[in-house]
Amino acid sequence: MYISIQDLCFSYPDTNRAAVDHFSLTIGKGEVVSILGKSGSGKSTILRLLAGLEKPSKGSLCIQENVVFDDKVFLAPEKRGIGMVFQDYALFPHMTVQDNIKFGLSHLKKEEKKKRIQEVLELVELEDYGNRYPHQLSGGQQQRVAIARAIAPNPHLILLDEPFSNLDAELQVKIRKELRDILKKANITSIFVTHDENDAFALADWIIKLKDGRIDAMGRPCDLLGASRPSEIRQQEPELVGV
Amino acid sequence: MLRVKRNKGFLVEELGCWTVQRKLSNVNAWTVSAVIIMALLFLPNLTIVSGIFSPSNDNWAHMKEFVLGSFIKTSLILIGATGFLTIAIGLSLAWLIAQYQFPLRNFLKWALVLPLSIPPFIGAYTYHGIFNYTGVIQTTLRDGFGKDLNPAYFDIMNIPGAVFIYTLFLYPYVYSITRIFLSQQSASLIESARMLGKGPVNIFFQVVIPISRVAIIGGSSLVVLEVLNDYGVVKYYGIQTFTTGIFQSWFGLGDIETSIKLAASLMGFVIFILMAEKLLRGRRQYNYSTTKVRPLPLIRLKGWKAFMATGYGLLILSLGFLIPVVQLIDWTILTFGTIPTEEFLIYVKNSVTVAGISATVIIIFALIVGNFSRLVHGKAAKLLPKLTILGYSIPGAVIAVAVVTAFIGLDGFLAPLYRLLGVDHTLVLSVSLAMLISAYIIRFFAIGYNSIESGYDKIGTDFRDASRLLGVGLTKTFFRIDVPMLKGAIVSGFILVFIDVLKEIPLTLILRPFNFDTLSTKAFQYASDEKIMEASQASLVIVGISALAIVVFYKFLEKEPE
Ligand SMILES: Nc1ncnc2c1ncn2[C@@H]1O[C@H](COP(=O)(O)OP(=O)(O)O)[C@@H](O)[C@H]1O
Ligand SMILES: [Mg+2]
């Protein structure tokens, strides 16, 4: 498999509950995986562990058979080749759109940089916005810049944390479709987390349902639609409220 | 060795255990420098603690028996009376501004902070000059009205006089903290009290005071710490306290041991104050919440009430700022040219140099320690910087004693090296500017750190993480992302430290190298030599720069809520 996550465990310091509990997952190249779960179920934590922003207490991540972390190896985030789109985008406010994208391209030559910036801006349909600052863009545009910035260095894997939560409802539907197109066009392997079933069902090749840091169910959207929707989810809900 | 083939965009990299070490060493470089900095800031103060246990000599025995009690009594009176009056004035002004609209309110809102730009010792000699026999009040009474009153009526060089001075120039601590606090309180609190039929007086005592307790205690403990730190006012007014005692036993008796013991006693006093603050404040911390609350709608005052409000604000502003400044300007004009310009420029240069170097070093240290604090998980990483912040509550005279002791020790330690290098002195570091600057850094680190830390808090960690995930390492991220984004915090921290160093008195007097004068030491010396008018020029420069900074800050602060 292209990406293989084995037995990932983690709890935050000074807490006694596991935020991520024996989480395993394999992903094929170019697939879009969605992790679906209620707030506090550990979605963001999983992404932060994969990115190297937190150190897991146990588990491993291999990309193309190469170890990114296990009990001996721990690559720093900047060495992993994993891109991330943050919930509030984290676009550097003191840099233009172009410079934001260029930031991750320091290994390229000047000409190549220019070309790559142009490529990804075209991909997200923001060719004319290169010289703007983040605060001069709408929420949807900012999000697309964040995606372009994450994609530009050609990461093995891109992580998206609740990509739609900061957009208004109308925009959400439109961008959902756009995002899938962008990811597929770039043939990029991605994991995105969401608390909204509709996002997951519309976008993902695979859906992982997460509950209390553990995998609760997993499958293709169509499978899960038949098996667990609507009855299973409805039954779970009252139980989840108290968690 | 494992190999990872990267996608075309990424460099093909060799991976293996060395990468783990690289990562660790990266974090370690930050941790190690942060820990060293914190140790440097904190350790000199331990010499004071060790002083408590060293055997006592005759001077100390004498002091303990005859003067220590009176030091404690005087200090208690000074902080008690000043504390009470600053709360009364600061809180009443804060409440007026927060709740009411009246003529000049918007001007007074920030102008009432201006007295903070006048260091109390400058205020002290200025008011002495205004009140003394040749001063403007007595001369006007004599010449204008033919009244020759008993000069004793006008003597302010005593404990009540010192309380008067402290109150006028320190109340802004209570005022500004309480005002900001009140302006962040939800209107519904006050409005529901009004709806329950409470009048303004009842609301003030039953609602405003209890809810702003935390802010009041925070502000007044700053006042109390400033009073305990003060050397200039008490020395000038001839009042015996811990700080003057420390100076006397050191310079008068040449008895460093007794100074250390006095410093330790004063430190005990400060710790007592800090504990009392913690106790009084309870579990609640200041809560400058960013969530939007509906601000208090201002009530428009009319007629004599509006007149009284404006009058009260202007009275305090005049006493705390306008009158002393006008007097200083007057004296400066009268004596202009008596101090040779070249000489004066040297004082300016010295002041700016030490303040600039100290502020720069403090900001760099604060950036490193602040970055460490958010890089490393766990309670220790959060607690350690807090410990270094204590430096600000340690009075300057105590830090001076600690730093001298440490530097003399250091010189002793380095003596073989000096001999090796052919230096024929035994004291090198302890007679250099390095000692003075180190002391400033220890004393004012907290000011810079607070500013930087709140800057780090504001930007959060997402930008840093985003940068690292784009393949940029920790240290590069620090320079390319953190520093540019912290620009505002860096500038404000720098200015705050800069003006504090500019105004500083006891450390500078004790630790400056021979023949090294700054604006504040010069102002203090002229005033001590009864050359009040000559002192005004240097004072005016200090006050002018500080006032400017305060005005700039007002703009910064008022912009923030947007
Ligand atoms: N920095 C932290 N320190 C301690 N606990 C945390 C921290 N961040 C998240 N948690 C806890 O870990 C659990 C999972 O959080 P998170 O991964 O953010 O959930 P989600 O993204 O699914 O909403 C929650 O119970 C949360 O309270
Ligand atoms: Mg989350």
pLDDT per residue, tens digit, chain B (562 aa), is 333 333 333 333 333 333 333 444 556 788 888 888 888 888 777 777 777 777 777 778 887 878 888 888 999 999 999 999 999 999 999 999 988 999 999 899 989 999 999 999 999 999 999 988 778 888 888 887 777 777 777 788 899 999 999 999 999 999 988 888 887 776 777 777 777 777 778 888 887 888 888 888 888 888 998 899 999 999 999 999 999 988 888 878 878 788 888 888 888 888 888 888 778 776 554 444 444 456 677 889 999 999 999 999 999 999 999 999 999 999 999 988 788 888 899 999 999 999 999 999 999 999 999 888 887 766 677 777 777 767 777 888 888 888 888 888 888 888 888 888 877 777 777 778 999 999 999 999 988 898 898 888 888 889 999 999 999 988 899 999 999 999 888 988 898 899 899 999 888 988 899 889 999 999 999 999 988 888 999 999 999 999 998 888 766 655 443 3
Cβ contact B441:B357 at 8 Å: no
Cβ contact A26:A37 at 8 Å: no
Under DSSP, is residue A136 helix (H, G, I), strand (E, B) or coil? helix
Hey, which residues 106-145 in chain A have their CB within 8 Å of chain B?
106-108, 116
Under DSSP, is residue A76 helix (H, G, I), strand (E, B) or coil? coil
ipTM of the complex: 0.85
Cβ contact B355:B447 at 8 Å: no
Q: Quote the pLDDT of residue A46.
A: 95
Q: Smallest Cα–Cα separation from B519: which of B503, B530, B532, B534?
A: B503
Distance A40 CA to ligand 1 centre (A): 6
A194 C-beta closer than 6 A to ligand 1: no
Sign of CA dihedral A74, A79, A83, A89: positive
Of B17, B20, B467, the CB nearest to A103: B467
**Angstrom distance (rounded) from CA B342 to CA B463:** 49
> Quick one: which atom of ligand 1 is closest to the CA of A42?
17
* Residue ranges with strand state E in B367-489: none
**Angstrom distance (rounded) from CA B522 to CA B338:** 14
Q: What is the pLDDT of residues A126-169, one digit of tens each?
A: 999 999 999 999 888 999 999 999 999 999 999 999 988 877 77
Distance B420 CA to ligand 2 centre (A): 62
| Closest B-chain CA to A12 | B377
∠ CA B139-B140-B142, rounded to 5°: 65
Q: Smallest Cα–Cα separation from B270: which of B399, B361, B100?
A: B399
Cβ contact A9:A55 at 8 Å: no
B379 class by beta-carbon count within 10 Å (0-12 exposed, 13-18 middle, 19+ buried): exposed
Bridge partners, residue A219, by sequence:
A207
Name the CA dihedral angle for A139, A141, A145, A147, rounded to a multiple of 10 degrees: 80
Q: How many CA atoms lie within 13 A of B222 on its CB side?
A: 21
The residues, ordered by sequence, that sit 6+ positions from B212 with a Cβ below 8 Å of its Cβ are B91, B94, B178, B181, B182, B185
Q: If you take atom 2 of ligand 1, which residue's CA is the nearest one?
A: A12
Token representation of residue B386? 């807090």
Q: Quote the pLDDT of residue A233.
A: 39
Domain B29-559, architecture per CATH: Orthogonal Bundle (1.10)
Token representation of residue B86? 């600053």
Q: Which of A44, A92, A143, A145 to mutate to test the interface with B (most CBs of B within 10 A)?
A: A92
Per-residue DSSP letter, A74: B
The radius of gyration computed from the CA coordinates of chain A, to the nearest angstrom, equals 18
Domain segments of chain B as ranges: 29-559
The residues, ordered by sequence, that sit 6+ positions from A141 with a Cβ below 8 Å of its Cβ are A126, A129
Under DSSP, is residue A113 helix (H, G, I), strand (E, B) or coil? helix
A153 C-beta closer than 6 A to ligand 1: no
In this complex, do B6 and A81 lie within 8 Å of one another by their Cβ atoms?
A: yes
Of A79, A103, A156, the CB nearest to B7: A156
Under DSSP, is residue A9 helix (H, G, I), strand (E, B) or coil? strand
**Angstrom distance (rounded) from CA B430 to CA B436:** 9
Please name the amino acid found at residue A220.
R
Q: Please identify which residue in the block is written with the tokens 């040779």.
A: B340
Residue A4 in contact with partner chain B when CB distance is under 8 A: no
Domains along the sequence of chain A with CATH: 1-75+189-243 (3.40.50.300)
**If residue B3 lies in a helix (H) or strand (E), which one and from where to where?**
strand B2-4
**Angstrom distance (rounded) from CA B546 to CA B488:** 18
The per-residue DSSP string of A18-45 comes to: -SEEEEEEEE-TT-EEEEEE-TTSSHHH
**Angstrom distance (rounded) from CA B304 to CA B309:** 9
Q: Quote the pLDDT of residue A228.
A: 47
**Bond into A230 cis (ω within 30):** yes
| Alpha-carbon distance B558 to nearest alpha carbon in chain A (angstroms) | 21
Q: Quote the pLDDT of residue B315.
A: 97
**Angstrom distance (rounded) from CA B549 to CA B562:** 21
Cβ contact B246:B397 at 8 Å: yes
Q: Smallest Cα–Cα separation from B165: which of B121, B228, B114?
A: B121
Q: Quote the pLDDT of residue B26.
A: 54
Token representation of residue B540? 């005016």
Sign of CA dihedral B181, B182, B187, B192: positive
Q: Quote the pLDDT of residue A159.
A: 95
Q: Quote the pLDDT of residue B283.
A: 54
How crowded is residue B192: how many other Cβ atoms within 10 Å of its Cβ?
Answer: 12
Q: Which of B458, B469, B478 to mutate to test the interface with A (most CBs of A within 10 A)?
A: B469
How crowded is residue B331: how many other Cβ atoms within 10 Å of its Cβ?
Answer: 20
> Quick one: which atom of ligand 1 is closest to the CA of A48?
17
Please tell me the pTM assigned to this model.
Answer: 0.82
Distance A45 CA to ligand 1 centre (A): 6
| Alpha-carbon distance A109 to nearest alpha carbon in chain B (angstroms) | 11
> Quick one: which atom of ligand 1 is closest to the CA of A210?
22
Bridge partners, residue A211, by sequence:
A214
Residues on chain B touching A104 (C-beta within 8 angstroms): 470-472
